[in-house]
Structures are given as structure tokens and as C-alpha cells.
């Protein structure tokens, strides 16, 4: 029989191991509910035995008192910046300089994604985290230990027993893209200010004086260096492996490469991979792998000779703002858009950029005729970051925000507490009508193939569509008579519409375009209420009990089903034969439970559908191949992921085998 103190030690070891498998190996060993039960038991035992509470206990991640300010920390070894290079030729020059000094043939490098976050230094004594500091100016940073303790992926206690008595580890605190998006969605729902971008979100979160605020932010960590040398391997790559063994997350895309070809090959591989990553990177870091060679190369000024950062193309450029227009969204949102002199940003020609809302225009003091800074990151819509008023040659007038909708002439309204102004015209406004129909047809909604933007414009302009319900009343002769349609195209569209009548409740809810209801919330509503009728009868309190639903979302959903026009559209959809199916809630223990799948190449089905089917069978779908991958679903023109899977001996599944598996498990591929 365990004593309370013995049980505390056992629970801490178990929770530490579960954290390691979850954050480092990406291979959870227990369900979340079981982890939560262990944590609850530990909290209860520590409450009974307060003398047993230690700073490295898993329970101590949250709850420190607010700080009055951050105390300065002097780094034992300066946190230096790296020299930047931008082209293959500059990488060749770097390799030539290194090779000349070392004179040992081709040089081996560790190639690492350059995270776009906040650099920190972590100090451990006897395996316990005792200090965390920001980079600061490289010589002195700020003590952020209390905040760093709240980051789940940073170990408070190291695994194993072979670590040095004192260990200093450096790495990057970042905010994953999905966490950033979820946080901003919640912030907007609560009428709070959203974060500007993941990097600013990570930096601002880590410098909160109240650790509980930091604990509520979706932060993560990747280790990239150990300053301590004694007792560690003699290469960078092996040190990263050792850090991983001790419980630190290390970027899974780190590679050991040889010579210029290895460096440039990894860069172009990562450039292709970048849009699908769940974190922001702004380049690649090349480090000479051997520490002996690093020592031989030394430093120049404030940067090492043995490492460089190859940056991706610049994502900010300067151009002139020609004029400001406004766009009307499907919910009536009025979005000002900057019309720009064409400028290439990160390899893409940009002529338009969002200005978000009137408040942002005033805050940034953006005026037609200004020189402005444009930012484009990944697939994000380009935005105007700031104006450059110092470049104004004459005084430019402020842009007057319109009082009436430019499409239908209805009054523009702005609700107190909301930054976004809206057209009051509702579906009387053709712009809102068109946007709502386009949204209804999107891939993540009803996925109506063949119903593109131009066809929606023609159908609305011809008076054939007043709402989404009218789609299912279209006649062959009406559609065939439109410009560039014809009988065959019209027939194909009507067949698509017929197939779309069999749709999940979650997809239909998302397709209806209820304000603040995205895919996740729509799925939660469908799982809780099960039918459209039950949801129509739900009160505010019923809605607040749904995961992902707060007061603002609950109010939007409640009011949507009480608006007469919306109810009429739903009734018309049901009368036309649309039959929403409730979402089948996936139970633990599905046929693919515990399996990790990766998708690559051109598949017979959209990737989003293949992902959904795999998840419905219990599998986890990730973006990169690793030793933990169970299977790779490979379509045509599969690239580096296929090669890596073959190298690792990962099972490769082609489209034919995948189809057979779907049929075996009775997956409906038409939904």
C-alpha cells in the first residue's frame, strides 16, 4: 500500500512521462480524461501534504502571484544573433569560407527550421527548472521563470538521470497557428482585441506580469541548443537527440546534411513544406555539426562564423496606396480594401490589401496617396501594416468612411463594442445574398461542385436566386439559358444539387452562415442537439452548455433561429428534400485508433475529405512523416514525403487500397 508521499512521487513520474510522450514524441500514451484524473489526484494529495509541494511538480505550472516587473538576467554566454544570407550563392560562399578554414573536405551541418518566435534560455539544476530568461539585447534579458512554468511543453523536471548537474538549454517559444486562430476566434467572440500575429502573440504572452494570463495563451517550445558542453555529445545533431531524451521538444524537421547541395536541398524542401506547418518559420539555420569545428571557426563581431540563417523572401514591402474601396461580406460586414500599386511580396504580386475596419484606418493613419508597408505571410490575406507619413509631399485628406452601403444604398450601422460596421440591408443587399450563396456552396459547407462565383453572380442577377433554398428549385431550362452554360453544364449542376441534399447536420449548420459559427462550433452543436428541430428549440442556457459556445455565439445562434426569414429558408430547404444527418460521434476504440496517417500527392478525393474519413475511423492525421507514422496515403506525384516514408519503412497506401478500406468500414464517400 502506497503512503501519500510515495503516491505523490509516483504520480509526478507518471505525469512527467505522459507529458514527454505527448509533447516530445507526439504519441500520447493515455486519453486526456485519464491524464486529468491523475493530475486531480496529485493536486488533492499535495493539498493534504503541502510540505511535499516542489517547484518542479506538474501542479505548479499555474498560479504564481503577479510580478511587479521583470528582473534583469545576465546571460552566462551571450545569446548572439546570426548572419543572414538570402540566396543559394550566398550559402555557397558561407560553405566555402567554412571549408577553407577547416580543410577537411565536405562539411556536415545541422539544418534547422528558423522559428519565428521568442528566444529564451532555460537553466536546470539537478534536473529542475530554476530560471528562464528572454534573449533581451543578447547580453542581458528578463527573468520570465514564472511565465515559462505555465508552458506545458517545457519540462519542469528532466527525464532520466544522466543530465549534467547544471544544464542551460536555449530554444524558441512560439504560438502554433491553430492555437493563434482559436485564441483570436474566442477574443473576437468576447469583443476583446485579437492578437496581431503568432510571433507578437508569443512575445506579448511571455511578458505578461500575471502568469495566469500567460497560462491561458497557447504557447509551445522547441529546444535548439545546449550551452552546457560537459558530459554531452560532441555534435549539434546528437545534442538535440539527447535533449529530446531528457524531455525537451525538438523540431521534427531538423536534419543532418552535407555540403552545399544538402543545405540548399533542405532549404527548398522546407520552403515547400512551410505553408502546411502549424507554426511560423522565417528561414533555415545552418550550423556546423561538430563542436570541435565550431570552436576552430570561432566568432566574428557578434555572430558565429560556424552558422548562418538563410531567410525566406521578404514578406513586407513598401508601395503606394492608390485608393480605398469597401467590400460587403455575407453577414453585411463592411471591409475597407486598399488598392495598391502592384508590388511583389514573398514572390506574389499584390494589388489589394485589407485595412480591416475604420478603427484600424484611423489608428494607422492610412490615407489615399500614402506610401504604406504591406505584409503577406503564407496564405494570409495581404494587409496594410502601417503608413509612412514622413513620405507625404503634401497634406493628404483623411478617407471618409461611407455612411451607406455602396452596393444597395442601405444605411451602414455600427454596434457599440464591435469594430466592424455592417450593411443593414440583409438579403435585400445583392452583395450579401451572393456571398451567402457562395459560402453555402464552399467545400467545407455543402461542397457544390460547379457552382462558382461567376455562376452565382449570373443566377442572382437573373433573379433566379433570392436565398440558398432557391438553389434546389432551379430548373434545367433556366440554368441552361445562362451565358456559357448549356444543357450539359446545367444538368451536371442539378445532379450535384441533388447529391448535396444528403448532408450532415454539422455541414448544413456551417453552410447557413450563422455569425461566429465555424466548422468546430457547428460540429459541437450537431453533436449536442442531434437534429435541426432540437437546435431550433434550444434556449440560451442550452446553447451555453455546448463546448466552444460562449455568450456571444449563443446569442447569435439563438437569434438566428428566431429570425423569420432564416426560419423560412430552413423550412424551404427541408421541403426541397434536404435531409440533414446528425454527426456520428466517434468513440474511442475505432478500427484505426492509435494510428498516425500522413497524406501526400494528388488524391482522388479532396484531402479534407480523406482526413475526415480517417479521423472518423479513429486515426490521427499529421502533416509530416516520422518514425511514429503508421501509414502514408500517397496519391499521384507524391514527393519528399513518399521518399522519407520508404526510407523509414512506413507503410504506403495507394488510392485503390484506400478505397477498399473505406468500403470495408462502410464510409459514405458521397457525404
> At 16, which helix (H) or strand (E)?
helix 4-19
Q: Which long-range contacts (CB under 8 A, 24 or more apart) does 352-359 make?
A: 352/382, 353/381, 353/382, 353/383, 353/384, 354/381, 354/382, 354/383, 354/384, 355/324, 355/383, 355/384, 356/383, 356/419, 357/419, 357/420, 357/421, 358/401, 358/414, 358/419, 358/421, 359/419
What does the block give as the cell for 447? 461542397
**Ranges assigned E (strand) in 233-280:** 255-258
Classify the C-alpha dihedral 419-424-429-434 as positive or negative.
Answer: positive
C-alpha–C-alpha distance, residues 322 and 358, integer Å: 17
Contact by Cβ (8 Å): 70, 211 = no
Instruction: Give catalytic residue positions.
Output: 114
The DSSP 8-state label assigned to residue 21 in this structure reads I
Give the position of cell 558561407.
94
Strand ranges (DSSP E) for 514-637? 579-581, 596-600, 620-622, 631-634
Angle in degrees, 0-180, between the axes of helices 4-19 and 32-48, rounded to the nearest 10: 150
CB 561 within 8 A of CB 536: yes
Q: What is the rounded CA–CA span in Å between residue 509 and residue 522?
A: 6
Residue at grid coordinates 500527392: 601
Instruction: Please give the helix or strand (H or E) that residue 166 lies within, else none.
Output: strand 166-174
Residue spans of beta strands (DSSP E) within 305-462: 307-311, 316-328, 334-345, 348-354, 371-375, 383-387, 412-413, 422-423
In contact, 38 and 9? CB cutoff 8 Å:
no
CB-count exposure of residue 428 (10 Å: 0-12, 13-18, 19+):
middle
Identify the residue whose cell numbers are 444528403: 502
Cell 560556424 -> residue: 306
Q: Please compute, for residue 368, the number of CA atoms within 13 A of its CA located in the half-sphere on the CB side.
A: 12
- Of 152, 143, 184, the C-alpha closest to 62 is 152
CB 297 within 8 A of CB 342: no
Query: DSSP secondary-structure letter at 602?
Result: B
Amino acid at each position: 500500500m502506497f503512503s501519500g508521499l510515495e503516491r505523490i512521487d509516483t504520480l509526478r513520474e507518471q505525469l512527467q512521462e505522459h507529458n514527454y510522450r505527448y509533447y516530445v514524441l507526439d504519441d500520447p500514451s493515455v486519453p486526456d480524461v485519464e491524464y486529468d484524473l491523475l493530475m486531480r489526484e496529485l493536486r488533492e494529495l499535495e493539498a493534504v501534504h503541502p510540505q511535499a509541494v516542489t517547484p518542479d511538480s506538474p501542479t505548479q505550472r499555474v498560479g504564481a502571484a503577479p510580478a511587479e516587473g521583470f528582473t534583469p538576467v545576465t546571460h552566462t554566454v551571450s545569446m548572439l544573433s546570426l548572419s543572414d544570407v538570402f540566396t543559394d550563392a550566398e550559402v555557397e560562399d558561407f560553405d566555402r569560407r567554412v571549408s577553407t578554414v577547416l580543410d577537411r573536405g565536405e562539411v556536415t551541418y545541422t539544418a534547422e527550421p528558423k522559428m519565428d518566435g521568442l528566444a529564451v534560455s532555460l537553466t536546470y539544476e539537478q534536473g529542475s527548472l530554476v530560471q528562464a530568461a528572454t534573449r533581451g539585447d543578447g547580453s542581458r534579458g528578463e527573468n520570465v521563470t514564472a511565465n515559462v512554468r505555465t508552458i506545458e511543453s517545457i519540462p519542469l523536471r528532466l527525464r532520466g538521470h544522466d543530465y549534467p548537474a547544471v544544464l542551460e538549454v536555449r530554444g524558441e517559444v512560439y504560438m502554433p497557428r491553430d492555437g493563434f486562430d482559436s485564441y483570436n476566434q474566442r477574443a473576437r467572440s468576447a469583443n476583446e482585441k485579437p492578437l496581431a500575429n503568432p510571433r507578437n502573440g508569443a512575445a506579448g504572452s511571455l511578458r505578461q506580469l500575471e502568469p495566469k494570463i500567460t497560462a491561458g495563451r497557447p504557447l509551445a517550445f522547441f529546444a535548439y541548443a545546449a550551452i552546457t558542453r560537459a558530459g554531452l555529445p560532441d555534435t549539434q545533431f546528437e545534442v538535440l537527440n539527447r535533449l529530446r531524451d531528457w524531455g525537451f521538444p525538438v523540431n521534427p524537421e531538423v536534419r543532418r546534411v552535407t555540403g552545399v547541395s544538402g543545405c540548399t536541398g533542405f532549404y527548398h524542401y522546407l520552403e515547400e513544406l512551410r505553408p502546411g506547418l502549424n507554426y511560423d518559420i522565417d528561414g533555415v539555420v545552418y550550423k556546423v555539426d561538430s563542436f570541435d569545428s565550431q570552436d576552430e571557426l570561432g566568432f566574428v563581431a557578434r555572430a558565429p562564423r560556424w552558422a548562418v540563417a538563410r531567410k525566406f523572401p521578404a514578406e513586407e514591402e513598401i508601395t503606394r496606396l492608390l485608393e480605398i474601396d469597401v467590400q460587403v461580406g455575407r453577414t453585411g460586414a463592411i471591409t475597407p480594401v486598399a488598392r495598391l500599386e502592384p508590388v511583389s511580396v514573398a514572390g506574389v504580386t499584390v494589388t489589394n490589401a485589407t485595412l480591416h475596419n475604420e478603427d484600424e484606418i484611423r489608428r494607422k493613419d492610412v490615407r489615399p496617396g500614402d506610401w504604406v508597408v504591406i505584409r503577406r505571410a503564407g496564405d494570409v490575406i495581404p494587409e496594410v501594416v502601417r503608413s509612412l507619413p514622413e513620405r507625404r509631399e503634401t497634406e493628404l485628406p483623411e478617407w471618409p468612411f461611407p455612411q451607406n452601403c455602396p452596393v444597395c444604398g442601405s444605411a451602414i450601422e455600427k454596434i457599440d463594442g464591435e469594430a466592424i460596421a455592417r450593411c443593414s440591408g440583409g438579403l435585400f443587399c445583392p452583395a450579401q445574398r451572393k456571398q451567402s450563396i457562395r459560402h453555402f456552396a464552399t467545400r467545407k459547407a455543402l461542397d457544390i461542385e460547379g457552382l462558382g462565383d461567376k455562376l452565382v453572380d449570373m443566377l442572382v442577377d437573373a433573379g433566379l436566386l433570392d436565398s440558398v433554398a432557391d438553389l434546389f428549385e432551379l430548373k434545367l431550362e433556366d440554368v441552361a439559358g445562362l451565358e456559357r452554360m448549356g444543357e450539359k453544364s446545367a444538368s451536371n449542376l442539378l445532379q450535384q444539387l441533388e447529391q448535396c441534399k444528403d448532408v450532415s447536420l454539422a455541414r448544413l449548420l456551417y453552410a447557413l452562415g450563422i455569425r461566429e459559427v465555424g466548422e468546430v462550433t457547428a460540429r459541437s452543436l450537431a453533436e449536442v442537439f442531434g437534429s435541426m428541430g432540437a437546435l431550433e428549440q434550444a434556449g440560451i442556457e442550452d446553447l451555453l452548455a455546448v463546448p466552444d459556445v460562449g455568450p456571444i455565439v449563443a446569442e447569435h445562434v439563438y437569434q438566428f433561429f428566431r429570425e423569420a426569414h432564416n426560419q423560412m429558408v430552413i423550412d424551404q430547404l427541408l421541403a426541397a428534400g434536404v435531409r440533414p444527418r446528425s454527426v456520428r460521434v466517434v468513440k474511442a476504440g475505432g478500427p484505426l485508433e492509435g494510428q498516425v496517417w500522413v497524406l501526400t500527392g494528388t488524391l482522388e478525393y479532396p484531402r479534407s475529405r480523406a482526413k475526415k474519413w480517417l479521423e472518423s475511423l479513429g486515426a490521427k492525421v499529421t502533416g509530416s512523416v516520422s518514425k511514429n507514422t503508421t501509414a502514408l496515403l500517397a496519391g499521384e506525384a507524391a514527393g519528399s514525403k513518399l521518399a522519407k516514408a520508404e526510407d523509414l519503412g512506413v507503410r504506403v497506401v495507394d488510392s485503390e487500397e484506400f478505397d477498399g478500406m473505406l468500403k470495408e468500414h462502410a464510409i459514405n464517400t458521397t457525404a
